[in-house]
């Protein structure tokens, strides 16, 4: 058996090809958790804010965070389906 | 050739001095410890950049009267104007406050220090803060090892103050021999000659003892013992006031150009105040007598009258100098400019790359990353100055509208010269080492090296685009057409925002903040482009700017867009840690061009609908 083939079989046996995928899933989940907390914080600030100028800024941040959460969910789904 | 000899000569002189005089050794080590303390202090204040301290400082120094008041209170509490001026230099060095605010604090400190004369003359009290040096050092060092950024910052500040006090202590110890030889009675002279001699003695004694407080104690003791006349004591107090600026001058040696300007402002203020006091000595003495009688101070109570004099002449100094603060700032910016600063003229070279790192691939990769960050630090300074902004103000949490008002210089900086000295060599070496590294890494690592190379190119491209922008920024900053002036200020503000956000990304370890700021920067770059947001069309259609202005603005908006784009791309590659979750998923969760397009389309759609609704409501109301 060639050395590369041996490595390949060892990887398959130890299910190491899944390692990268599961590590990515873990990263996405961790980021989603942080982003959800951020979204909560921004929503809370929006309720408490008085100045219009800051409201616009917070609204923009909320849109960005929501978009990032959406992207994260899609990525996670792709990984789970693959 | 000559500058190669300077360092060995200084070192030899110091070594010789240490050999022949233990006192000199003590004084020199005192200065060294003092400067080390300054570095620690600046480091500590930098940790609070964007935090509570900055907010407190900004709120308490945003108006001139506030910064004056701040100086008075701080000096009254600390009982040392020298320490307050040194701390102010640290605030400036860390970009927490501006030069005008710093000058306000220094003026206030001069008034605050007069409370010392009242305490010494009235109660014979003196707060000995040097006794806290050792505990401060111990607590400081323990806190420095803490992971929390705030505790770490407090640790640096405490240790800095500890070293500062320790340095002053050693300097004083070293000068004890000098102090013992000062016999004021033997020098007692009447008239103008006596006035000038005793002013000079006051300056000398304060420079030697590093404390106007100590000089005041000496004066009051000598006055009470009848060793010197009342007039001579007043002259000594004037001299002590001028001599106390030496601590700030020593402190500014390790600071940046703003710190040096502040130390110069301190010297100018105290020298002018001293000159006024000498010229108007009889009038001031008459006022002191009058005020003393009003306050119920006995005619022969010269020690308290000295305190009245000290307060009065410093108040006069502040009243005289206050209207000229803006002129003073302008003068200092001209006199102590970038070109005059020798260290700014040096050629910067690589810090982390050398042939030994080539042997170890992991070290090499890490060195290339660090060197790219070093390149960006230099580029950041040049880009900020090219946009006529102060880099320290950009990284502070000051309002960006205020940051763009505080211009770096009235003349354009030589970007070609800065590029040649601070960028070219480092950039060339990074590319050279990165290319050499490619041969040492497996195929999957090649992409990473390629990404670093691109990041370096992005930095250089951003610099080149700033150079193109710079000409019109200077030109239209003075334009009578407020529309074009505003547009160029918007460009400066937007780029200052990008630079500030990149600085936050580089220093934070919160991944959600990194993602948010990177995404925000990308969206803003697109939104701020005058070509895509319709601003240019509107300005041309309404004939608010000339054709020449329109062409310039169109080109420069593109440059600004490219600068933002390149810097954000660089930040994505360099400032997000390799071990982070963001990098693990190849930055896929950060908003990209396509997402921005979707977001902008959705926004436009909502705006259209709102407009449509408003129109319908208006029609209904009309009918």
- In order of B99, B100, B198, the CA distances from B326 in angstroms are 10, 7, 33
- What is the torsional sign of CA B43, B47, B49, B54? negative
Element (H, E) at B429: helix B425-438
pLDDT level of residue B568 (50, 70, 90 thresholds): very high
Confidence (pLDDT) at B582: 86
Q: CA-CA distance, B145 to B147, in Å (whole number)?
A: 7
Q: Could you tell me which of B499, B487, B497, B520 has the C-alpha nearest to residue B570?
A: B499
Examine the pLDDT at B125 and tell me if it is beyond 80.
no
DSSP letters of B552-590? HHHHHHHHHHHHHHHHHHHHHHHTS-TTSHHHHTTTTTS
Helix then strand then coil, in percent of chain A rounded to 5, is 90, 0, 10
Q: Which of B35-44, B243-252, B275-284, B324-333 has the lowest mean pLDDT?
A: B35-44
Q: Which of B110-124, B376-390, B438-452, B483-497 has the lowest mean pLDDT?
A: B110-124
Number of other CB atoms surrounding residue B120 within 10 Å = 21
Tokens matching residue B205:
């004694």
Q: Say whether B238 sits in a helix, a strand or coil.
A: helix
The CA angle B197-B199-B201, to the nearest 5 degrees, is 70
Q: CA-CA distance, B155 to B560, in Å (whole number)?
A: 40
- In order of A39, B43, B333, B335, B409, the CA distances from B340 in angstroms are 50, 25, 11, 8, 13
Q: Which residues of B touch A31 (CB under 8 A)?
A: 511-512, 515, 581-582, 585, 589
Contact B589 A23 (CB under 8 A): no
Q: Could you tell me which of B369, B552, B532, B372 has the C-alpha nearest to residue B458?
A: B372
Under 8 Å CB pairs connecting chains A and B tally to 57
In DSSP terms, B389 is beta-bridged to: B407
Is the Cβ of A22 closer than 8 Å to some Cβ of chain B? no
Q: CA-CA distance, B150 to B76, in Å (whole number)?
A: 27
Is the Cβ of B582 closer than 8 Å to some Cβ of chain A? yes
Examine the pLDDT at B496 and tell me if it is beyond 90.
yes
Tokens matching residue B289:
């007598």
- Which one-letter DSSP state was computed for residue B79? T
Is the Cβ of A39 closer than 8 Å to some Cβ of chain B? no
Q: Which residues of B touch A80 (CB under 8 A)?
A: none
Confidence (pLDDT) at A15: 61
Q: CA-CA distance, B69 to B63, in Å (whole number)?
A: 10
Is the Cβ of B596 closer than 8 Å to some Cβ of chain A? no
In DSSP terms, B172 is beta-bridged to: none
Q: Which of B92-106, B234-248, B332-346 has the lowest mean pLDDT?
A: B332-346
In DSSP terms, B407 is beta-bridged to: B389
Examine the pLDDT at A14 and tell me if it is beyond 70.
no
Is the Cβ of A25 closer than 8 Å to some Cβ of chain B? no
Which residue from A30, A37, A64 is facing B519, i.e. has the nearest CB? A64
Q: CA-CA distance, B325 to B298, in Å (whole number)?
A: 38
Q: To the nearest 10°, the Cα dihedral for B395, B51, B100, B64?
A: 150
B622 vs B282, residue with greater confidence: B282
Contact A72 B512 (CB under 8 A): no
Contact A38 B516 (CB under 8 A): yes
Contact A27 B599 (CB under 8 A): no
Examine the pLDDT at B340 and tell me if it is beyond 50.
no
Tokens matching residue B375:
């390149």
B307 vs B373, residue with greater confidence: B373
Number of other CB atoms surrounding residue B198 within 10 Å = 27
Is the Cβ of B519 closer than 8 Å to some Cβ of chain A? yes
Q: Which residues of B touch A64 (CB under 8 A)?
A: 516, 519-520, 523, 591
* A38: closest chain B residue by CA: B512
Q: What's the pLDDT tens digit per position in B175-192? A: 665 555 556 666 666 677
Tally the C-alpha atoms within 13 A of residue A73's C-alpha that lie toward its C-beta: 8
Mean pLDDT of B306-324: 87
Computed over every residue of chain B, the mean pLDDT equals 81
Which residue from B519, B585, B591 is facing A28, i.e. has the nearest CB? B585
Q: CA-CA distance, A75 to A18, in Å (whole number)?
A: 16
Q: What's the pLDDT tens digit per position in B53-92? A: 566 776 777 778 888 888 888 877 766 677 778 778 777 7
Q: What's the pLDDT tens digit per position in B162-171? A: 887 787 677 6
pLDDT-above-70 percentage for chain B: 84
Let me know how long chain B is.
623
Mean pLDDT of A43-63: 83
Q: Which residues of B touch A28 (CB under 8 A)?
A: 581, 585, 589
Element (H, E) at B461: helix B443-477
Mean pLDDT of B6-35: 80
Is the Cβ of A59 closer than 8 Å to some Cβ of chain B? no
Task: Answer whether B35's CB lies under 8 Å from B253's CB.
Answer: yes
Confidence (pLDDT) at B218: 67
Classify the phi-psi angles of B399: left when phi > 0, otherwise alpha if psi is within -120 to 50, otherwise beta: beta
* B581: closest chain A residue by CA: A27
Task: Answer whether B115's CB lies under 8 Å from B76's CB.
Answer: yes
Which of B508, B581, B590 should one mutate to test binding to chain A, selecting the residue with the greatest count of A CBs within 10 A?
A: B581
Close Cβ partners of B145 (under 8 Å, ≥ 6 residues apart): B155
Is the Cβ of B590 closer than 8 Å to some Cβ of chain A? yes
Q: Could you tell me which of B118, B40, B121 has the C-alpha nearest to residue B86?
A: B40
To which residue do tokens 């006090």 refer?
B165
Which of B493, B497, B501, B512 should one mutate to test binding to chain A, selecting the residue with the greatest count of A CBs within 10 A?
A: B512
Q: Which residues of B touch A24 (CB under 8 A)?
A: 584-585
Domain ranges of chain B: 19-328, 360-622
Q: To the nearest 10°, the Cα dihedral for B82, B83, B87, B88?
A: -30
Q: CA-CA distance, B254 to B249, in Å (whole number)?
A: 10
Q: What's the pLDDT tens digit per position in A49-58? A: 776 667 888 8
Q: Could you tell me which of B214, B262, B261 has the C-alpha nearest to residue B237?
A: B214
Examine the pLDDT at B116 and tell me if it is beyond 70.
no
Q: CA-CA distance, B550 to B460, in Å (whole number)?
A: 27
Q: Could you tell me which of B29, B43, B33 has the C-alpha nearest to residue B164?
A: B33
Q: Which residues of B touch A38 (CB under 8 A)?
A: 512, 516
Mean pLDDT of B247-254: 77
Q: Could you tell me which of B402, B406, B375, B380 has the C-alpha nearest to residue B391?
A: B380
């Amino acid at each position: 058996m060639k050395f590369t083939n041996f490595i390949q079989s060892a990887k398959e046996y130890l299910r190491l090809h899944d390692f990268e995928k599961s590590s990515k899933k873990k990263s996405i989940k961790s980021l989603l958790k942080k982003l959800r907390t951020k979204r909560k914080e921004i929503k809370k600030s929006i309720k408490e804010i008085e100045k219009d100028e800051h409201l616009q800024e917070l609204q923009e941040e909320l849109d960005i965070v929501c978009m990032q959460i959406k992207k994260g969910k899609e990525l996670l789904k792709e990984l789970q389906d693959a | 050739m000559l500058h190669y000899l300077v360092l060995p000569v200084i070192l030899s002189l110091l070594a010789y001095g240490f050999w022949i005089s233990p006192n000199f050794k003590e004084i020199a080590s005192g200065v060294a410890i003092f400067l080390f303390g300054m570095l620690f202090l600046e480091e500590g204040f930098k940790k609070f950049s964007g935090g509570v301290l900055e907010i407190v400082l900004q709120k308490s120094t945003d108006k001139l009267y506030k910064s004056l008041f701040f100086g008075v209170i701080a000096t009254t509490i600390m009982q040392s104007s020298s320490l307050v001026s040194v701390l102010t230099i640290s605030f400036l060095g860390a970009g927490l406050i501006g030069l005008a605010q710093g000058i306000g604090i220094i003026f206030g400190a001069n008034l605050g220090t007069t409370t010392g004369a009242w305490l010494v003359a009235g109660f014979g009290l003196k707060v000995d803060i040097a006794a806290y040096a050792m505990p401060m050092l111990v607590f400081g060092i323990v806190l420095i090892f803490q992971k929390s950024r705030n505790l770490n910052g407090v640790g640096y500040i405490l240790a800095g103050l500890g070293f500062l006090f320790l340095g002053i202590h050693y300097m004083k110890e070293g000068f004890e021999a000098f102090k013992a030889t000062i016999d004021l009675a033997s020098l007692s002279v009447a008239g103008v000659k006596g006035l000038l001699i005793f002013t000079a003695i006051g300056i000398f004694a304060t420079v030697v003892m590093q404390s106007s407080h100590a000089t005041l104690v000496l004066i009051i003791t000598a006055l009470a013992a009848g060793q010197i006349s009342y007039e001579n004591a007043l002259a000594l107090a004037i001299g002590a006031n001028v001599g106390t600026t030496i601590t700030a001058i020593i402190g500014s040696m390790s600071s940046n150009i703003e710190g040096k300007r502040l130390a110069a402002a301190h010297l100018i203020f105290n020298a002018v105040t001293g000159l006024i006091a000498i010229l108007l000595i009889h009038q001031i003495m008459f006022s002191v007598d009058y005020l003393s009688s009003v306050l119920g101070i006995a005619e022969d109570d010269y020690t308290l009258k000295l305190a009245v004099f000290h307060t009065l002449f410093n108040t006069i100094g502040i009243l005289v100098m206050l209207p000229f603060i803006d002129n003073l700032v302008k003068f200092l910016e001209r006199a102590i400019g970038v070109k005059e600063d020798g260290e700014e003229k040096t050629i910067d070279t690589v810090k982390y790359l050398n042939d030994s790192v080539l042997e170890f691939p992991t070290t090499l990769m890490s060195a290339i990353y660090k060197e790219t960050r070093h390149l960006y630090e230099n580029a950041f300074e040049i880009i900020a100055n090219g946009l006529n902004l102060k880099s320290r103000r950009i990284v502070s949490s000051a309002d960006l509208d205020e940051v763009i008002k505080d211009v770096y210089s009235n003349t354009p900086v030589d970007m070609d010269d800065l590029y040649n000295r601070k960028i070219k060599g480092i950039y060339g070496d990074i590319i050279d080492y990165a290319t050499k590294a490619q041969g040492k890494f497996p195929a999957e690592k090649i992409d990473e090296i390629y990404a670093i190379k691109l990041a370096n190119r992005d930095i250089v491209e951003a610099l080149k685009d700033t150079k193109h922008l710079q000409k019109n920024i200077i030109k239209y900053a003075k334009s009578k057409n407020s529309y074009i002036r505003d547009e160029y200020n918007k460009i400066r503000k937007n780029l200052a925002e990008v630079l500030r956000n990149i600085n936050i990304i580089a220093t934070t370890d919160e991944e959600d903040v990194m993602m948010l700021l990177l995404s925000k920067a990308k969206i803003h770059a697109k939104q701020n482009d005058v070509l895509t947001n319709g601003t240019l069309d509107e300005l041309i259609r309404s004939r608010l700017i000339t054709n020449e202005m329109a062409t310039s603005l169109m080109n420069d908006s593109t440059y600004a867009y490219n600068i933002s784009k390149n810097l954000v791309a660089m930040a994505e590659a360099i400032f997000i840690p390799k071990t982070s979750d963001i990098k693990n998923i190849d930055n896929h969760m950060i908003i990209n061009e396509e997402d921005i397009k979707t977001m902008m389309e959705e926004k436009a759609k909502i705006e259209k609908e709102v407009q449509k609704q408003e129109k319908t409501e208006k029609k209904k109301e009309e009918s």
